[in-house]
Structure 1
Amino acid sequence: MQRIFLAVFIAILVAIPLIPGTPEFWVNQMNTIGIASLVVLGLVILTGVAGMTSFGQAAFVGMGAYATAYLSTSLGYSPWIGLLAGLAIAFVIAYILGQITLRLSGHFLPLGTIALCLIFYYLFGNMDFLGRHDGLPGIVPIEIFGFSLLKARAIYFLIWGVVLLSIFLSLNLLNSRTGRAIRALKNGAAMAESFGVNTHHYKMIAFVYAALLASVAGWLYAHEQRAVSPSTFGLNYGIEYLFMAVIGGSVSIWGAILGAGLVVFLRDQIQAYTPYLIDAKVNVEMVVFGILMVLILHHAKDGLWPILMRGVNKIFGEKQTQNTDLGLDEKAAELPKRERPQKGDTVLRVNKIRKEFGGLVAVNDISFEVKAGQIMGLIGPNGAGKSTSFNLITGVLPLTSGTVEFMGQKISGLSAREISRLGIGRTFQHVQLLPNMTVLENVALGAHLRANSGVVSSLLHLERESEARLLKEAKIQCERVGLGDYLYEKAGNLALGKQRIVEIARALALDPTLLLLDEAAAGLRYKEKQDLAAVLSALRDEGMSILLVEHDMDFVMKLTNHLVVMDFGTYLAEGSPAEIQQNPAVIEAYLGGMDDVLDMASTEVKV
């Protein structure tokens, strides 16, 4: 269906300027839509996918437009030199602004991009060599192999060729190792850091990529209009580009074209008919677009494109099919494995770790060790500090005092990303998956550190071999935990129990030496718990060390070799499961009554 749609779309694009009698107005409108689509495509990546809001894309459009306008009119350089200059300027400005704002959370990026737009609007309108508010007219047309693209019908093919190329590059980017990291930024940045994803780096990629697309749009605009002035690069246009992204579908690549087309069409119609309706030339486009945006956000938060696709599928009787075209190759080479420590070696040493939140002591000088080939349980009542201890060990939270050593190396003070690189994988108390990505892609994110393909190879789809190896590893880990039938199912469609299993598979894809499982059996049915216990036992036999937080005592007592009990953040007791069941302090503080003790004592303990 998608290929048919693409073929029809390209056929229509080619036919519009070639059909005799096609009004010149239509061709010009299509040129405007194509140029706007480039800007909106960048916003889809930046805002819809990566979750970062920019109001300053019009400024980057202006950089591309003014760079080529000045160089071609005042200095006589080729438009192609102007293109490179515009890209260079946009790259430098986006890089500097991104380094300043993207390390900060909240409203800093939106405010920074608003300031950027206001600054460049002022500069464009007040610099003599840029023509001040009159702008720069008489821009030379683009030439390709001596053929001038002076007329609208001639530059039309260049504009839409660039749009289609940008769509191809953007789809390649999103369906890659780099793209998975970018998609994790919106709802799973902390989780992604725990698997080695440098979130700041990928924020920078998304931000700079959107700026470069906007600069290309500005270059095309300048040579299509053959004149530039500050009025088309103000903040109102930056907001309008956001409208286009939201209305079309901020998470849909093809929604960028739909949104641009609708807004350009509506803007033209509003400007044409407003004088007849209110008997005055009033600019009411922003009011109408604002109302439309509110309605879209309320009734179709993903924009109009997904609704349109569902309607088309319904008309043609198509069902929503699973995305199986992810580059998985069964013949791909397997990724290299870490060397396992000798059974019995100390893998993790926790020494008097402490965490204070103001006056609250959440973890109070806890110490324990985990040996190679051992499953150790960390148990205690709700609020005992177990999950906080996990976060201290994995670098998610900083220690107030104490030390953590992994394989003889001090890791306290390291970031979650650096700790994961050493070979510590984890799951989370509250499931942290990317619901709109398939199970296979979610698990492949766990293997992020085991490949090194970059953004350029992703854009050009040159990372096929590396990507195939990552996806094969993800498939192996999915099958290992019983998810072989769910590879192409969206993770958000799975039941909670299955989602927890996906988290375990993702952690295994890191090829960890130490695996930290935070309530991994929560939400699982009895048979699923048995299957999970079998998987964890097999991992232990392979030499993997496992630190387990769990409330299901039957599950813990049958599976673990050693237990540490916490209560209100403090160390209470430790020993074998049999010893813990008979410990009076544990019985009083944790088990809550002799009936529970008798039930546990009657449980067969398997170590």
Structure 2
Amino acid sequence: MFQAILGGLVAGAIYALLGIGIATAFRVSKVVNLAQGNFFVLGIMVAASLAGPLPLPVAVLGAVLVCAGAGALQYRLVIRPALSAAHATQLLVTLGSGLALSGAVRVVWGPDDRSLRAMFEGTTRIWHGRLTYQGIVVVVAAVLLTAALTLFLHRTDAGLRMRTIADSPSVASSLGINVARTSTAAFALSAGLAGLAGVLIAPLLFVNFSSGLLMTVYGFVAASFGGLSSLPLTLAGGLALGCLEAIAAHQFDSALKTPLAMTLFLAIVLVRNRGGLIQQARVVQRIVPWRTPGRGRPSFRAPGAALPTGVKAPGAALPARKAFWRRRSAGTAAAIALAAPLGAQFIDPYWLSVLSFLGVFVIVGLGLDLLLGYTGLLSLGQTAFMGLGAYLVALAPKWWGLGPWAAIAVAVLISCLAAAVVGTLVLGLRGYYFALATLVLAITAELVANGSPGLLGGPSGVDVPGELKLFGISLDTPERLFLVIWVMVAAIAFLLSRTVTSRFGLGLDLVRSDPDLAAAAGVPADVLKLQAFVFSAGIAAVGGVLYAYLLRFVSPPAIGFEGGIDALVGLMLGGLGTVWGALVGVAVVRLLPEWTGSSDTYQLLIYGVLLTAIALVFPRGIVGKVGHWGRDVGRSRTAGPKRLPAPASRQVPSAPTAPASRQVPSAPTAPASRQVPSAPAAPRSHDPRPLLEGRSLTKRFGGVTAADGIDIALVPGEVHGLIGPNGAGKSTTLALLSGRLRPTSGAVRFGGKDVTALPAWDLASLGVVQTFQIPRFPADQTCWDVAAMGAFSQGSGGLLQGAGPRGSRVVGMLYDIGLDCLERVGLLGQRDRLVSELSTGQQKLLELARALAARPRVLLADEPAGGLSADEHERLGVLLRSVAEQGTAVLLIEHSVPLVMNVCDRVTVLAEGRLVTSGRPREIRTNQEVIDAYLGT
């Protein structure tokens, strides 16, 4: 045992050096470099080449310098352009550059294993074990380098610059720090450490071009111990990881050591992200007993009122481009299904085989598109579910005596159940951890399959038994399998195209765009992500089943990460979030080597360059770019004036002038043009009891108290103003009432029930809807899309229901509601414009339309008048009064005192996080405390 631990310390020291490099680069860029392990391999290869003609120390130094230079080049060419991109894009460019480097190593040094002669010969006895001098050097080097780097970061000017960049690049730049140069140096240092780790351990092991990704994962596991920031904890994590592996290999089976290490990684990240895990657990226990489907929200139309012009019936409104896309997708799917029998008859047998495998990877790509393209989740472990489906269809007849069709059903079902369990665990992870956890899943699955010869056949794999028959016809020929595969491609693509244009798809758009925006629209983001994850895994399992019957054999590479590179690169090339991008991109990736006759030698290099280039300069992909171009052409042909007037039939009449009894004198400093007339007093037939209450709400952020014991009550039919100077705690109070923040103490009550613990989306689904001070819309959506997204909570139906006729009716109804709300705020003429083309004032109005589409019982409006003109101020005041008159409780946070005083029934004043006073507008206007704290003279 002690001997095993000594060996584990040596391996752990290498993991620690890799982790320290990852943490060093992450500190200055917030990017996890998935190419770190490839620099480890590059260092060994360069040192092995230089060790012949040059002395070994010179070869080692040369290898470290080459790796450092490669790291600096990677930052300048690949990572720096992606710093402002999404986490998924950053991971893809580092993954692509790592694959390209791995491919380059294969081209230059070939596929054979390499090693290096020892720099220090001999062994020494340490207690009950022996350790080589080379191993001692590795451990000592890891400890000394950790100490040196820690001192460097905390005791030198260069280290201080790196830490400043880590805290805030903009502040560092304003202080005169050259951010680009310092970050380049950090990545050079990171890659140099990886190269040094390689040459130190090279005498003790053999590596080849494909070893880099696993070493990256080991390094990331070590870095996770330190939260990607603490170097001493990273060292401790690496050493612990190495010892755990060694003990597992000694006590159990050496094949289990890496899976156990990966399990440790998952345990670490789940503990570090336990908040996300708890949130995922609530997905299962989210039933609110007193929530009912019909919650009595006010309708925007009086009973029996005529529908607006242009809308045939509730649920019939749908933008022409979406309706056209649905018809085109259905036609394309039908064309594929009809062409499949012809292809089976006339295509050459060799090309039948090529196209059959192409179809399998298109299916996997379609499932991945649902996750990455529509949900924004980068899963690097989809092949694990593909492989699980393949292995189960091969082993279920042997294990449980099932027939072929029963085995297929069980394979897909178990894959979906496994995805549900995995998704519940990993979907709560934030940032890079989700993608890396799924990568660990794929690597672990392949290693388990390789290390289980008795159960899973080991490296030799397993045969697929039985004869598959459909309607009495045996599917035992290439032609028939080709037909089945491509009919499945058409069916899955059609199902997916219907799903992503349904209510479920609108929810995914919001989840991908902004989690807070999704929650404000009542979208249960965690539920939708889990459903998408399971559905995607089910699609991958179907691909695995077809793969197994196509080969009649399943082996470990089918379950590992590299088995799915074709699908990932093809999807990126074809276009994310397009459905048909998987078909186009995977076809190019799979058929290009066939057409050009290129060998496998260059394949990895080409894939890496393609993946990196697409993520950086061609993110829309082929289908996405063509679709975007087509939409631009279509919009340019139909575009009228940039500010189209609403049709007369949809004009919203202004409210009559308020009676004298409601007139409130305006502030002396306010110009006359900013006066906001009041609407008629709201009818007092509404329930006078508060609908939403905040009781003694307190929120602390560390030592800062943002809200301190605030009481506020919102009554149906009233507009309640919340004013105060900047930093008074207004937005914090709104966030507490909406569920976006959990109070440190105090309670939020809705309808007399405590809802403090409910998440924001649950409150929004009950009718507590907020607007954001700064609008947060998906930039690639139209005004009509955004308004329809706001109506998400008004519909029903999940993932599978959205693909049917009922799903079409529901999504049409949501667009109808959205159209109605655009009319109310005066943006009907802008419905087909992209939100990125709107002015600030128009975006504010669209934000209000999005909130009104949810038909709120409580509307929390955070500075909706910002950026509006004087006329729009007046219209906004009338609109807020009309919303309140329909029985909605409105909270208005606003700096425009005339607007607040003329529109609100009650006003609450905050200052420095505390309640100053609350009362009628006339009382607030003359209150000396309010004048001193906010209004002035």
TM-score normalised over the length of structure 1: 0.85
Q: What residue identity is the alignment partner of 2:367?
A: G
- Which secondary structure state, in structure 2, belongs to the residue aligned with residue 428 of structure 1? coil
Matched, 1:525 2:869: yes
Partner of 1:349: 693
- Which secondary structure state, in structure 1, belongs to the residue aligned with residue 511 of structure 2? coil
Give the alignment partner of residue 471 of structure 2, picking from 125, 139, 145: 145
The within-5 A match list for 1:318-467 is 342=686, 344-467=688-811
Measure, in 2, the Cα distance between the counterparts of 1:318 and 1:451.
Answer: 30
The within-5 A match list for 1:11-410 is 11=335, 18=342, 22-71=347-396, 77-125=402-450, 126-137=452-463, 139-140=465-466, 142-268=468-594, 272-274=597-599, 283-309=601-627, 342=686, 344-410=688-754
Partner of 1:558: 902
Q: Is the 8 A contact 1:73 1:138 kept in 2?
A: no
Offset at 1:358?
0.6
Q: Is the 8 A contact 1:43 1:250 kept in 2?
A: no
Stretch deviating more after TM superposition (485-494 or 394-403): 485-494
Q: Is the 8 A contact 1:68 1:79 kept in 2?
A: yes
- Which secondary structure state, in structure 2, belongs to the residue aligned with residue 346 of structure 1? coil
Offset at 1:292?
1.2
Distance change in 2, residues 1:321/1:513 (3 Å): farther
Q: What residue identity is the alignment partner of 1:67?
A: L
Q: 1:452-486 deviations in whole A, cap 9, x for unaligned?
A: 31222123343344444444333333323223334
Offset at 1:74?
8.2
Distance change in 2, residues 1:418/1:82 (3 Å): same
Matched, 1:569 2:916: no
Q: Is the 8 A contact 1:141 1:223 kept in 2?
A: no
Partner of 2:55: none
Offset at 1:129?
4.6
Distance change in 2, residues 1:572/1:310 (3 Å): closer
- Which secondary structure state, in structure 1, belongs to the residue aligned with residue 598 of structure 2? helix
Distance change in 2, residues 1:569/1:471 (3 Å): same
Measure, in 2, the Cα distance between the counterparts of 1:5 and 1:45.
Answer: 15
Partner of 1:545: 889
Offset at 1:31?
1.5
Distance change in 2, residues 1:318/1:141 (3 Å): farther
Measure, in 1, the Cα distance between the counterparts of 2:756 and 2:479.
Answer: 63
Partner of 1:277: none
Q: Is the 8 A contact 2:573 2:585 kept in 1?
A: yes
Q: Is the 8 A contact 2:566 2:586 kept in 1?
A: no
Offset at 1:360?
0.4
Q: Is the 8 A contact 1:73 1:140 kept in 2?
A: no
Offset at 1:347?
3.1
Q: What residue identity is the alignment partner of 2:850?
A: R
Offset at 1:374?
1.7
Distance change in 2, residues 1:108/1:511 (3 Å): same
Offset at 1:141?
5.3
Measure, in 1, the Cα distance between the counterparts of 2:372 and 2:917.
Answer: 49
- Which secondary structure state, in structure 2, belongs to the residue aligned with residue 515 of structure 1? strand
Q: What residue identity is the alignment partner of 1:431?
A: P
Measure, in 2, the Cα distance between the counterparts of 1:138 and 1:45.
Answer: 29
Stretch deviating more after TM superposition (553-562 or 442-451): 442-451
Distance change in 2, residues 1:486/1:421 (3 Å): same
Measure, in 2, the Cα distance between the counterparts of 1:252 and 1:47.
Answer: 11
- Give the superposed CA RMSD: 3.0
Measure, in 2, the Cα distance between the counterparts of 1:392 and 1:312.
Answer: 44
Stretch deviating more after TM superposition (92-101 or 363-372): 363-372
Distance change in 2, residues 1:468/1:14 (3 Å): closer
Q: Is the 8 A contact 2:818 2:853 kept in 1?
A: yes
Stretch deviating more after TM superposition (62-71 or 515-524): 62-71
Q: Is the 8 A contact 2:336 2:490 kept in 1?
A: no
Offset at 1:95?
0.8
Measure, in 2, the Cα distance between the counterparts of 1:377 and 1:186.
Answer: 33
Offset at 1:139?
4.8
Distance change in 2, residues 1:285/1:560 (3 Å): same
Q: 1:496-527 deviations in whole A, cap 9, x for unaligned?
A: 32232232223223332221100111122222
Q: Is the 8 A contact 1:17 1:27 kept in 2?
A: no
Q: Is the 8 A contact 1:72 1:139 kept in 2?
A: yes
Measure, in 2, the Cα distance between the counterparts of 1:351 and 1:27.
Answer: 70
Measure, in 2, the Cα distance between the counterparts of 1:21 and 1:475.
Answer: 50
Q: 1:207-233 deviations in whole A, cap 9, x for unaligned?
A: 001100001011111112222222233
Measure, in 2, the Cα distance between the counterparts of 1:10 and 1:417.
Answer: 38
Unaligned residue ranges in structure 1 (runs of 5+): 275-281, 323-339, 595-607
- Which secondary structure state, in structure 1, belongs to the residue aligned with residue 421 of structure 2? helix
Measure, in 1, the Cα distance between the counterparts of 2:376 and 2:628.
Answer: 24
Q: What residue identity is the alignment partner of 2:546?
A: L
Stretch deviating more after TM superposition (440-449 or 555-564): 440-449
Q: What residue identity is the alignment partner of 2:482?
A: Y
Matched, 1:534 2:881: no
Q: Is the 8 A contact 2:340 2:486 kept in 1?
A: no
- Which secondary structure state, in structure 2, belongs to the residue aligned with residue 283 of structure 1? helix
Give the alignment partner of residue 504 of structure 1, picking from 848, 865, 884: 848
Q: 1:3-38 deviations in whole A, cap 9, x for unaligned?
A: 678757865775587478643333222212211111
Give the alignment partner of residue 479 of structure 1, picking from 792, 814, 823: 823
Q: What residue identity is the alignment partner of 1:298?
A: L
Count of aligned positions = 567
Distance change in 2, residues 1:457/1:17 (3 Å): closer
- Which secondary structure state, in structure 2, belongs to the residue aligned with residue 185 of structure 1? helix
Stretch deviating more after TM superposition (558-567 or 467-476): 467-476
Measure, in 2, the Cα distance between the counterparts of 1:74 and 1:231.
Answer: 22
Q: 1:249-294 deviations in whole A, cap 9, x for unaligned?
A: 1111111111211221235467x434xxxxxxx6332222111111
- Which secondary structure state, in structure 2, belongs to the residue aligned with residue 516 of structure 1? strand
Q: Is the 8 A contact 2:361 2:566 kept in 1?
A: no
Partner of 1:514: 858
Measure, in 2, the Cα distance between the counterparts of 1:408 and 1:9.
Answer: 52
Q: Is the 8 A contact 1:177 1:453 kept in 2?
A: yes
Q: What residue identity is the alignment partner of 1:198?
A: P
TM-score normalised over the length of structure 2: 0.56
**1 or 2 for the larger relative contact order (CA 8 Å, sep ≥6)?**
1
Measure, in 1, the Cα distance between the counterparts of 2:356 and 2:927.
Answer: 78
Q: What residue identity is the alignment partner of 2:615?
A: L
Offset at 1:418?
3.2
Partner of 1:278: none
- Which secondary structure state, in structure 2, belongs to the residue aligned with residue 253 of structure 1? coil
Offset at 1:535?
1.1
Q: Is the 8 A contact 2:468 2:475 kept in 1?
A: yes
- Which secondary structure state, in structure 2, belongs to the residue aligned with residue 546 of structure 1? strand
- Which secondary structure state, in structure 2, belongs to the residue aligned with residue 112 of structure 1? helix
Bigger helix share: 2
Distance change in 2, residues 1:297/1:360 (3 Å): same
